[in-house]
Amino acid sequence: MATIRIGSIAPDFTQSSTEGDISFHQWIGSSWAVLFSHPKDFTPVCTTELGTVAKLKPEFEKRNVKVIAVSVDDVDSHKRWTGDIEETQKTKLNYPILGDSDRKVATLYDMIHPEANDTLTVRSVFIIDPNKKVRATITYPASTGRHFDEVLRVIDSLQLTDSHSVATPANWTQGNDVVILPSIQDPDVIKQKFPKGHTVLKPYLRITPQPNK
Q: Spell out the residues 6+ positions from residue 65 whose beta carbon is closer than 8 angstroms to its own.
A: 31, 32, 33, 34, 155
Cα 198 to Cα 43, 115, 173, 177, 201: the distances in Å are: 49, 48, 18, 10, 10
Q: Report yes or no: 62 and 81 within 8 Å, Cβ to Cβ.
A: no
Catalytic status, residue 46: yes
Please identify which of the residues 22, 33, 35, 46 carries the catalytic annotation.
Answer: 46
Q: Which are the catalytic amino acids?
A: 46
